[in-house]
Amino acid sequence: MPRQDGAAGNSRKYRWKLWVVVGALAVATGLARPGAAAVVECASGDVACLIAAVNAANASAGADTIQLQPGVYSLMAPDNDTDGANGLPSITSPLTIIGAGPGNTIIEREATAPDFRLFHVAQTGVLKLQGVTARGGRLRNGPFPFDGGGLLNLGTAIISQSAVTDSATGFGPGSGAGGGIASLGKLVIAGSIISRNTSSGPGGGVSSRLGLLAVLNSTISSNRGDFGGGLFIGDGVPATIIGTTIADNLATDGSGGGVFSSSAVAIINSTLTGNRTNFGGGGLAGGSGIIVNTTIANNDGGFSGDALFASSALAVYNTIVSGSLVQFGPPACTGQVTSLGNNLFTQADCAVSLLSNDLTGDPRLGDFVDDGTPGHGFLPLLRRSPALNAADAAACLPTDQRGRRRNAKGCDIGAIEGVRP
């Protein structure tokens, strides 16, 4: 999945900004960036080297690095059965695995291999996965537990400029969590893609049930789970989502097509679109938190809550909340949110009460656009959109979801700066 945003200078600037954010999060959460005690380089597709290097890192007192050459590293059998079958040794110490980019370095479960997840991070483990695609993990048959088809994190995991795709977990309705990633520790996803994962339990893409969660400049798309098709956030998990696309996910048996959160969640400069469920909250099902400069539109909540399934403890600011524009169509919101101002609602009754600077009506959004760069999927504002210049500039970040500069004198409502008339 190579970058498609053009000049090398822009690419370097993007990566630099990304690492500033990741570094700041590491300091804020008490995660020191590990120094490399040893560096091991594995030749293209050399699985034996990869497994041996993980074992050596676990035995080492320092923080080690494994450098993977471009190629496909196909795992043929489980290495161990810690918390279910795992293709690689459980990571018990600080370890960085660096590939040549997610389109070039792939760690996978070979299609004919028995079921196992790819990665297991123990409580003492710290995994930084950079420039790698992890795909095809499958944990549907015993032994219990079934969580984390691609990765189960009990310690700390930082997924950077990587992809977790085509993994699955669960054994019957409600079992297993996190088709792509299940986390009961500290999880940071930055500049990455989580897509086409499946769980018969909560969190088709990601399930975060303990610890903390940060999703930065990433895409969570085309995942399927029972609650929270894209992302499930459990009780007491501080969660922050910035500059992220959450699109085309499906919740099969519960609410929250894109996101289900039972904790306070902060969503900023993000787009939630094309997510589906029959049980309310097509975009988001969440009781508390704050949403700023975000676009929630073109989701399907079934008979209720196309955009949101929420309570008044969820506050929105500078945000587009769009449901059906058809008269007597399904409501955009199940429950009512608190407006902090400068929002654009297609249906006025989404908010407990509208403020004088809130708008209602058609936001005039274009078709979904995605150039493949993590976090760059969005719904453009068309000319003469009422969202243009209508946000509170004091609350807008300097740049929009794509990293483009916002108009300091009058930024736009929603995730994206639009085209001026």
Mean of pLDDT values over 28-52: 78
Q: What is the pLDDT of residue 342?
A: 98
Least confident of 7-11, 148-152, 156-160, 234-238: 7-11
Mean of pLDDT values over 96-105: 98
Residue 365 clears pLDDT 90, i.e. is over it: yes
Q: What is the pLDDT of residue 408?
A: 81
Q: What is the pLDDT of residue 175?
A: 73
Residue 5 clears pLDDT 60, i.e. is over it: no
pLDDT digits (tens, 9 = 90+) for 189-213: 999 999 999 999 999 999 999 999 9
Q: What is the pLDDT of residue 393?
A: 94
Q: Tell me if 128 sits within 8 A of 160, measured CB to CB.
A: yes
Q: What is the pLDDT of residue 303?
A: 81
Q: What is the pLDDT of residue 35?
A: 46
pLDDT class of 420 with cuts at 50, 70, 90: low
Residue 272 clears pLDDT 70, i.e. is over it: yes
Distance CA 75, CA 97 (A): 16
Residue 48 clears pLDDT 80, i.e. is over it: yes
β-pairing, 36-42 with 168-169?
unpaired
Mean of pLDDT values over 132-159: 89
Mean of pLDDT values over 322-337: 83
Please give the structure tokens belonging to residue 96: 């960085």
Residue 359 clears pLDDT 50, i.e. is over it: yes
| Per-residue three-class SS string for the chain | CCCCCCCHHHHHHHHHHHHHHHHHHHHHCCCCCCCEEEEEEECCCCHHHHHHHHHHHHHCCCEEEEEECCEEEEECCCCECCCCCECCCCECCEEEEECCCCCCEEEEECCCCCCEECEEECCCCEEEEECCEEECCEECCCCCCCCCCCEEECCEEEEECCEEECCEECCCCCCCCCCCEEECCEEEEECCEEECCEECCCCCCEEECCCEEEEECCEEECCEECCCCCEEECCCCCEEEECCEEECCEECCCCCCCEEECCCEEEECCEEECCEECECCCCEEECCEEEECCEEECCECECCCCCEEECCCEEEECCEECCCCCCCCCCCEECCEEECCCCEECCHHHECCCCCCCEECCCCECCCECCCCCCCCECCECCCCCCCCCCCCCCCCCECCCCCECCCCCCCCCCCCCCCC
Mean of pLDDT values over 278-287: 93
Q: What is the pLDDT of residue 421?
A: 54
Q: What percent of the chain has pLDDT over 70?
A: 88
Q: What is the pLDDT of residue 273?
A: 98
pLDDT digits (tens, 9 = 90+) for 60-97: 888 999 999 999 999 999 999 999 999 999 999 999 99
Distance CA 187, CA 116 (A): 21
